Amino acid sequence: MWILRINMSDLSYKLEELPEKYKLLYGRALTSQMVFDEVPPLCHALGLNNKLVFSAGVVTGTAAPTSARVSVGGKSPLTGGIKEANAGTAWGPDLAKMHIRALVVEGLPEKKDVYWGAKVKWDDTAGKPVVEFFDATEHIGKDVYKIYPQIFEKFGEKVSIASMGTAGELGYGNSGIVFNDMAKRPSRYAGRGGLGAVLASKRLKFIILDAKGAPGIDMVDKSLFDEGRKKLIDAIRSHPISQPKGGLNSYGTAVLVNILNEAGGLPTRNFSAGRFEGAAKTSGEAIFETNKERMGKEIYNHACSPGCIIQCSNTYYNEDQTEATSCIEYESTWALGANLGVDNLDDIATMVQLCNAYGLDTIETGGTLGVAMEGGLLEFGDSKGAIQMIHEMGKGTAVGRTLGGGTEVTGKIYGVKRVPAVKGQGMPAYEPRAVKGIGITYATTTMGADHTAGYTICPEILGVSGKLDPLSPEGKAALSRAFQATTAFIDSCGHCLFIAFPILDIATGFEGMIQECNGVLGTNWNADDIVAYGAETLKVERKFNEAAGIGKEADRIPEFMKIEPLPPHNQVFDISDEALDSVYKDL
Amino acid sequence: MLIVCGHRILYAVRDDMIVKVKLFATLRKYLPGVELGKSSDIELESGSSIAQLYDVLGIPAEEIKLAYVNGIFCEMDTELKDGDEIGIFPPIGGGSL
């Protein structure tokens, strides 16, 4: 097992044996630990001393269901703190199969106008991965949908590709790292926190993996792994949310639009209301029914990555039956829909496609445009104007570069008081005043406002793992803490977070996930151990942030949410600072 | 409905009420032809519960996960009032965890 270091200062690489202390660290646990160990917290995120660390999860590359995740870590140019973003893509399994526990991109080249590609392939004779560099400058400034086919043509259909778009090249805090999906689309983003700009700062345009001939994943106890795998598969296939033709497979994640709207927690027109009159037109049901009408048949969703049995990724089709985009996630249809007062699904699809093409994070883009609309750049509901602004961002015009700085930067420039961001990162699609627990997660996670860090929506809105009152502050700090710790483990084990729907409700599924990990690692973990594992990761991230100047004072929700009641429930965010601080104090 | 004044029952009548119902995701088939996001007026006997509404709509209990009444999650035995707006959902999930 190796750490592969790619040094962009002198275009070299080296393979290091994995140190003993990292033996049980994978995915987010490893990216965060290595960033803590190797990146000076006060360094510039786009400078010489920042590093990008890629790591797949414990079971990534095995036959475990829905487990092709890869984590990317570094210091975020958006938040100034630690960042882990992950994506589902064949790139993760390919990395793991070559026994590369972590791929680290470090250094900084002196020449700024030359970009490089690194192809990592398995060398059968040497029994290890090797790296070849190539000049990639010709691919700069271009739509990633135009570039990817050329790279696949040059390097073969079986490779997987990590890259960034022009948003990264322009150094935006809003820029993701993109990976290919199963149909070779550049659409699977480790989107949040500006890691695309970090990759671009190193002048590394592509990391191409060719795992042909690679040995695959070693396991200590295959029969235990298989037993766990079977339990998890059964849980996923029997839970109504994750089963074939269930909620996710039929309607995708955008099925959440209507329920958040009914619950009064769908942030609308830059977080000025909790309900949007046009919500239904932007929902998963609308995507499904529009596709059915346009294509003449029901179309169910597809897998974003190998081995996924949930298959929640949709494709949205134009009237002429050509593909408009894939995929429209809940967060994207909200950010570019309700949040902007836009109910035109075709225009939302166009915006999603453009964000992917330019390398922008859809959540940060929607948050930014919402603030800009409030600041008077455009009228709410002006979807054509929003499309134009995304073009400006991608092309790097003056206004585009302003917006590329993200939600908080744009709020400052336009003099807007209502800026929905924490630690510099724009809020996702759940209103903290209407769903208190998720507000605690936004406030306290090390990542900046991030729903995935501790998804209390499960019990607060969806009735998964019980049902809690979303408007009540009672017990929500403990709830968020528990979700944040468990999530940090799931982000490290390699499974997609969506396995949480079945494993929270079906005990054998939860057991199965742990058995899979024990089978691979030879550990004897139980449920408490995995929560402790996740908690350790959170502590490491917290220590990095504190050393970067981001302490508990940054664990706060923006003031307007504490003083402006949100319709329809007319609630403010009423969680005390003491309760917020208890999330980490009692970890 | 009983109209009371102190301990005296003035009169008792059986009357009906109208509630506004929206069905989502896989439940939409139980009110076919309704435009997505639009509510349907459903007439119920006064004092009916959410469970009785499910019976009137003909939706098997096992297909339903939860209901929001006027934006608030409510259990199945909750009594409905005239003019209530009810959104009914099967098990759904997304976003992330």
Measured CA to CA, the distance from residue A168 to residue A141 in angstroms comes to 10
- What pLDDT, in 10s, does the model give residues B22-41? 999 999 999 999 999 999 99
Q: Write down the pTM of the prediction.
A: 0.96
Mutate to test the interface with B, among A86, A242, A262, A266 (most CBs of B within 10 A): A262
Per-residue model confidence (pLDDT) at position A343: 98
B61 and A CB contact within 8 Å: no
Among A residues 414-453, those touching chain B with beta carbons less than 8 Å apart: 428-430, 451-452
State the complex-level ipTM. 0.92
Which own/partner contact pairs does B50-57 have at CB distance under 8 Å and 24+ positions apart? Answer: B50/B74, B50/B75, B50/B76, B50/B77, B50/B78, B50/B80, B50/B86, B51/B76, B51/B77, B53/B19, B53/B21, B53/B80, B53/B86, B54/B88, B57/B21, B57/B23, B57/B30, B57/B31, B57/B88
Rounded to whole angstroms, what are the CA distances from A282 to A135, A285, A329, A395, B36? 42, 8, 11, 27, 10
Buried b (16+ CB within 10 A) or exposed e, A65-99: bbbbbbbbbbbbbbbbbbbbbbbbbbbbbbbbbbb
DSSP state string for A169-216: HTT-SS--EEEE-TTS-EEEEE-TTSHHHHHHHTTEEEEEEE-TT---
Tokens of B26: 């896989």
Q: Do A256 and B24 touch (CB under 8 A)?
A: no
Per-residue model confidence (pLDDT) at position A465: 87
- Say whether A30 sits in a helix, a strand or coil: helix
Q: Do A458 and B97 touch (CB under 8 A)?
A: yes
**pLDDT band for position B1 (cuts 50, 70, 90):** very low
Would you call A351 exposed, middle or buried from its count of C-beta atoms within 10 A (0-12, 13-18, 19+)? buried
Q: Chain A residue closest to B66 (CA)?
A: A463
Q: Which of A329, A462, A497 is opposite residue B92, by nearest beta carbon?
A: A462
Q: Between helices A362-374 and A383-395, what is the axis angle to 10°?
A: 120
Strand (E) or helix (H) holding A587: none
Q: Do A483 and B90 touch (CB under 8 A)?
A: no
Q: Do B95 and A483 touch (CB under 8 A)?
A: no
Q: What is the pLDDT along chain A (587 residues), one digit of tens a residue?
A: 999 999 999 999 999 999 999 999 999 999 999 999 999 999 999 999 999 999 999 999 999 999 999 999 999 999 999 999 999 999 999 999 999 999 999 999 999 999 999 999 999 999 999 999 999 999 999 999 999 999 999 999 999 999 999 999 999 999 999 999 999 999 999 999 999 999 999 999 999 999 999 999 999 999 999 999 999 999 999 999 999 988 899 999 999 999 999 999 999 999 999 999 999 999 999 999 999 999 999 999 999 999 999 999 999 999 999 999 999 999 999 999 999 999 999 999 999 999 999 999 999 999 999 999 999 999 999 999 999 999 999 999 999 999 999 999 999 999 999 999 999 999 999 999 999 999 999 999 999 999 999 999 999 999 998 899 999 999 999 999 999 999 999 999 999 999 999 999 999 999 999 999 999 999 999 999 999 999 999 999 999 999 999 999 999 999 999 999 999 999 999 999 999 999 999 99
Backbone angle region of A201, left / alpha / beta, with phi > 0 → left and psi within -120 to 50 → alpha: alpha
CB pairs under 8 A between A and B: 121
Which residue in the block uniquely carries the two structure tokens 């329809």?
A568
Q: Do A501 and B93 touch (CB under 8 A)?
A: yes
Residues of A in contact with B38 (CB under 8 A): 280
Over its C-alpha atoms, chain A yields an Rg (Å, rounded) of 22
Strand (E) or helix (H) holding B84: none
A293 and B CB contact within 8 Å: no
**pLDDT band for position B94 (cuts 50, 70, 90):** confident
Residues of A in contact with B24 (CB under 8 A): 255, 258-259, 285
Q: Which residues have a Cβ under 8 Å from the Cβ of B60 and sit 6 or more positions away?
A: none
Residues of B in contact with A510 (CB under 8 A): none
Q: Do B91 and A258 touch (CB under 8 A)?
A: no
> Are the CB atoms for A14 and A44 separated by under 8 Å?
no
- What pLDDT, in 10s, does the model give residues B33-83? 999 999 999 999 999 999 999 999 999 989 999 999 999 999 999 999 999
Per-residue model confidence (pLDDT) at position A421: 98
Strand (E) or helix (H) holding A391: helix A383-395
Q: Chain A residue closest to B63 (CA)?
A: A240
Measured CA to CA, the distance from residue A33 to residue A582 in angstroms comes to 23
Per-residue model confidence (pLDDT) at position A281: 98
A92 and B CB contact within 8 Å: no
Q: Chain B residue closest to A467 (CA)?
A: B73
A315 and B CB contact within 8 Å: no
Per-residue model confidence (pLDDT) at position B97: 42
Mutate to test the interface with B, among A28, A249, A256, A259 (most CBs of B within 10 A): A259
A254 and B CB contact within 8 Å: yes
Among A residues 484-513, those touching chain B with beta carbons less than 8 Å apart: 487, 490, 497-498, 500-501
Buried b (16+ CB within 10 A) or exposed e, A464-503: bbebbebbebeebbebbbbbbbbbbbbbbbbbbbbbbbbb
Per-residue model confidence (pLDDT) at position B9: 52
Q: Chain A residue closest to B94 (CA)?
A: A253
